[in-house]
């Protein structure tokens, strides 16, 4: 059987969404997918990055992660996004990348891609759901198929109960409050499974 090409595309300033992306890669690989973990281009000025030690450390730690290209979207059967919330919306870095997909959209290259999303914030109700849903708005325009986790596994409840996509709260020390690893792995496996059905 042909493998499901899975692109896991993230933006992370201090590492939370990079970790979520790595867990998603783990789940997708367990489901038999061919996986690429890709970051969106950082657009913040270096002075802003340098002013935050955790941000600067993460940029250095993830320097070898490839930057996503439009060709990666064409390659992918499944796409999993992981982003922090910015005032209940998608970070500008991710939005800047999504805004370059017009040519692919116009030529129907994004139709029937199976997509799913995850998010994080510093508060339990800090905009994670709104961020995921705002990202999905773009996906509807693509003609993509949304593969939300719903309540398809009890792990969703133990990780906070977000049916739109796994979300996590991060404390002031940058540590995840909820244990979401199993939920992320389930979401990734579900996304790959649905993409495999579509591909067949």
Segments forming the whole domain that contains residue 134: 5-199
Q: Which residues of the chain, if any, have pLDDT below 70? A: 1
Residue 41 sits in a domain whose CATH number is: 3.40.50.360
The structure tokens listed for 135 are 């990202």
Going 59 to 68 to 137 to 132, the CA torsion angle's sign is negative
pLDDT of residue 2: 83
- Give the model confidence (pLDDT) of 20-44 as tens digits: 999 999 999 999 999 999 999 999 9
Tally of structural domains, the chain: 1
The CA-based diameter of the chain, rounded to the nearest angstrom, is: 49
**Closest by alpha carbon to 145, among 119, 116, 104?**
116
Helices (H) and strands (E) in the chain, counts: 9, 6
Which DSSP helix (H) or strand (E) runs through 199?
A: helix 181-199
pLDDT of residue 32: 97
pTM: predicted TM-score of the whole model, two decimal places: 0.96
pLDDT of residue 1: 62
**Closest by alpha carbon to 148, among 187, 174, 177, 90?**
187
The structure tokens listed for 41 are 């281009």
Three-class secondary structure of residue 67 per DSSP:
strand
What is the distance between the alpha carbons of residues 156 and 154, in angstroms, rounded to a whole number?
5
DSSP-assigned letter for residue 163 = S
**Closest by alpha carbon to 117, among 101, 98, 96?**
98
């Amino acid at each position: 059987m042909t493998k499901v090409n899975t692109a896991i595309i993230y933006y992370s300033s201090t590492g939370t969404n990079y970790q979520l992306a790595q867990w998603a890669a783990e789940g997708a690989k367990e489901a038999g997918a061919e996986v690429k973990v890709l970051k969106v281009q950082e657009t913040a000025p270096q002075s802003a990055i340098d002013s935050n030690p955790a941000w600067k450390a993460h940029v250095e730690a993830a320097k070898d992660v490839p930057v996503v290209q439009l060709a990666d979207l064409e390659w992918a059967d499944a796409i999993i996004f992981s982003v922090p919330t910015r005032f209940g919306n998608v970070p500008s870095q991710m939005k800047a990348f999504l805004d370059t997909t017009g040519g692919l959209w116009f030529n129907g290259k994004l139709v029937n891609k199976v997509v799913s999303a995850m998010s994080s914030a510093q508060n339990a109700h800090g905009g994670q759901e709104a961020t995921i849903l705002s990202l999905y708005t773009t996906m509807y325009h693509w003609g993509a198929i949304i593969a939300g986790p719903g309540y398809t596994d009890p792990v969703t409840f133990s990780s906070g109960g977000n049916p739109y996509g796994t979300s996590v709260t991060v404390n002031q020390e940058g540590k995840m409050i909820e244990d979401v690893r199993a939920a992320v792995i389930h979401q990734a496996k579900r996304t790959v499974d649905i993409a495999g059905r579509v591909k067949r």
